[in-house]
Amino acid sequence: METFEIRDEFHLNGKPFKVISGAMHYFRVVPEYWRDRLEKLRLLGCNTVETYIPWNMHEPHEGEFDFEGRLNVRSFIQIAQEVGLYVILRPSPYICAEWEFGGLPYWLLQDPQMKLRFEYTPYLEKVDHYFERLMQEFVDLQIMDCGPILMMQVENEYGSYANDKGYLRKVAKMMRDYGVQVPLVTSDGPWADMLENGTIPELALATMNCGSDIKENYEILKDFHGEKKPLMVMEFWIGWFDAWGDPGHHQTNIEDAAKELDDILEQGSVNIYMFHGGTNFGFTSGANYYADYAPQVTSYDYDALLSEWGEPTPKYDAFQKVISKYTEIPTFELSTTIKKKAYGEVKISEKVSLFESLEDISEKVQSPYPLSMEDLDQGTGYVYYQSNIGKKRKVEDFKLISTRDRANIYVNEKLLFTQYDHEIGKEVSFDLMDEENNLGILVENMGRINYSVKMNHQHKGIKDGVVINRAFQSGWDMYSLPMDNLEKLNFEKDWQKGTPSFYRATFQVDEVGDTFIELDGWGKGFVLVNGMNIGRFWEVGPQKRLYIPGPLLEIGKNELIIFESDGKATGSISLLDEPDLGVLQKK
């Protein structure tokens, strides 16, 4: 039987052990590439891989669990072991990770009294039910059972959210009750009260998250421990994420990052965040909100050691050189051959307007008042709201109340204006020109906030109502649009220029390879490749092309479906062999 213990240092099978780990999220990488990425982590010199576990993916609707395909965490852990890596799991109900709602499922918000991440009984009961099912996937893969799992984390950066120690202890107890035997850890920033707020030293080792000033922050962690314990940076931030509207792709200085890594390993252990970032497929990217709403782009490249598409970067080489000072670097041949392919220009062959498709892909819900996305039992995507607003006249005061995140407003299926972030809730006036007028509002969930105190207010769609000339409008038809059933589209129906629409194209593949879709001239929307949503695009950038992993393609005929919400589309797209993340030119 193998053992892993926390003493004055980490001990593996009774001997001191330096954890040299890299972060990779199985749910951000197609399963066909897991082994390739893990082999590259081992070749870097790392002995461990770390991953979060997203509750909202594994229990997308309450009581319905999914551990198949890209969500087969058990298979990911087993492949890591085959490659020669140990595993750190972070199954905390909240993960942040720049992920939709920080990994929390939307249906928690169906409780109007919900208190997230607190000792609130209904919340804890739902965590308990999830853990009961989740732990079955890997409790037999812990190190004492000859598996690769060394440690698991309780919650995540809790000290930057609250200081409810009763909650943390109950989460830790649930983990133990459902079979977790390996050491527990917490991770928090070393600033202000974060370590004090977010730790339970009697139950879990405190580790820290930071990207610089390692020597100074280690001293803070030593003082906090009060005795000799292992020092570990659980998230060594070596890059950063991008948000829509950023001036360019974030990059960090390679030499500075390598020096900080050396400082970490000189005294302790590390988990490099991120070793490989991967992709926010579908509607999975989250958002931050400080002064402004900042939803993350589809790419989670993170300026990591491996690019979004899995290629080693110059930072990889620099880190490998540092790691070689502390351990032997293995050598072996990679088992997966990956090519990049340019399939060229692809012509759009069919198109249909959303307004013509509503009844095909959604069932109408009627209510005197608008219902939020959560009240419609919908997690992500869009909602279309429709109401008859009567005769020709001037609307002097139009306002959306408690609406998120972006709304296109139509009268008689013609776009009047769009509101986003701070614009929502502002008064707008306009003239109704026809004898009868139908109001339409397409509201997009661009990602629930994944960090900090605004997480408690993440209802999407229209929560409170629509004001027209100082009174709430009643009588609504609503169409939920999670966009998960687009095989039901009928492209023989009408298309109107300037309306939100679906576009279909096919292309031939003689040799499968990774490719990148460029949508120059397109506005905002998302793309399906052979039925899989590969993520959002938006003309504001910085990301200009979406990554299509080769395993999503097939020899022969392949299908693209593009939804564009703003009436901006061209007659073609391009499939290229190079990415474009909107990288800023270095001065």
pLDDT in tens, 319-345: 999 999 999 999 999 999 999 999 999
Pick the CATH number of 344-352+490-576 from 3.40.50.1780, 2.60.120.260, 2.40.10.340, 1.20.140.10: 2.60.120.260
Q: What is the rounded average pLDDT of the residues 144-155? A: 98
pLDDT in tens, 48-99: 999 999 999 999 999 999 999 999 999 999 999 999 999 999 998 999 999 9
d(CA 361, CA 42): 45
Whether pLDDT at 587 is above 80: no
Catalytic (active-site) positions = 157, 235
Whether pLDDT at 584 is above 80: no
pLDDT tier at 508, thresholds 50, 70, 90: very high
Q: Which of 40-49, 51-60, 235-244, 449-458 has the lowest mean pLDDT?
A: 449-458
The CA distances from residue 329 to 45, 195, 325, 332, in Å, are 5, 34, 9, 10
Q: Are 156 and 199 in contact (CB under 8 A)?
A: no
pLDDT for 96 equals 98
pLDDT tier at 454, thresholds 50, 70, 90: confident
Q: What angle, rounded to 10 degrees, do the helices at 34-44 and 73-83 form?
A: 40
**Fold match between 344-352+490-576 and 369-474?**
yes
Whether pLDDT at 304 is above 90: yes
Choose among 481, 466, 458: nearest CA to 565.
481
Q: What is the rounded average pLDDT of the residues 150-154? A: 98
d(CA 405, CA 458): 10
CATH topology of domain 369-474: Jelly Rolls (2.60.120)
What phi and psi values does residue 317 have, to the nearest 5 degrees?
Answer: -60, -40
Sequence ranges of the domains in the chain:
4-323, 344-352+490-576, 369-474
Q: What's the CATH architecture for 4-323?
A: Alpha-Beta Barrel (3.20)
pLDDT for 237 equals 98
Six-digit token string for 526: 């998302």
Whether pLDDT at 487 is above 60: yes
pLDDT tier at 453, thresholds 50, 70, 90: confident
String of b and e for 170-206 (b: at least 16 CB within 10 Å)?
A: bbbebbeeeebebbbbbbbbbeeebbebbbbeebbbb
The CA distances from residue 438 to 88, 321, 389, 427, 493, in Å, are 54, 65, 6, 19, 21
What phi and psi values does residue 545 have, to the nearest 5 degrees?
Answer: -135, 145
Q: What is the rounded average pLDDT of the residues 207-230? A: 98
Residue 49 host element (H or E): strand 48-52
pLDDT for 314 equals 98
SS3 6: strand
Whether pLDDT at 585 is above 90: no
